[in-house]
């Protein structure tokens, strides 16, 4: 989150190290991946919603878990 929130606030593309990309089969949905060292890799999908606070991007977290969450983002 130390890099995600600051990048989100800039309104530009996320830095490559965050490993965020669009989900091919679901327009407007994005995938974020991370690694916990020797533990299982994690994934989360999210989309942007209507701003709740003016000027602040609103993120809607859809699914959080392992690779299996991608069966229906």
Q: How many CB atoms lie within 10 A of CB 30?
A: 18
| Mean pLDDT within 28-45 | 84
pTM of the model: 0.79
Is residue 70 predicted with pLDDT exceeding 90?
A: no
Sheet with strand 29-34: strands edge to edge? 20-22, 29-34, 42-49, 58-65
- Annotated domain spans of the chain: 4-71
Is residue 58 predicted with pLDDT exceeding 90?
A: yes
Rounded Cα distance between 31 and 43, Å, is: 7
Rounded Cα distance between 60 and 70, Å, is: 16
User: Could you read off the pLDDT of 11-34 as tens digits, one per residue?
Assistant: 888 888 889 999 888 899 999 988
- 42-62: b (≥16 Cβ within 10 Å) or e: ebbbbbeeeeeeeeeeeeeeb
């Amino acid at each position: 989150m130390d890099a995600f929130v600051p990048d989100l606030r800039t309104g530009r593309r996320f830095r490559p190290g965050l490993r965020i990309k669009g989900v091919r089969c679901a327009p407007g949905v994005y995938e974020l991946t991370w690694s916990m060292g020797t533990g299982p890799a994690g994934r989360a999908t999210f989309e942007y919603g209507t701003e709740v606070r003016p000027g602040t991007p609103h993120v809607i977290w859809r699914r959080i878990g392992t690779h299996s969450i991608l069966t229906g983002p």
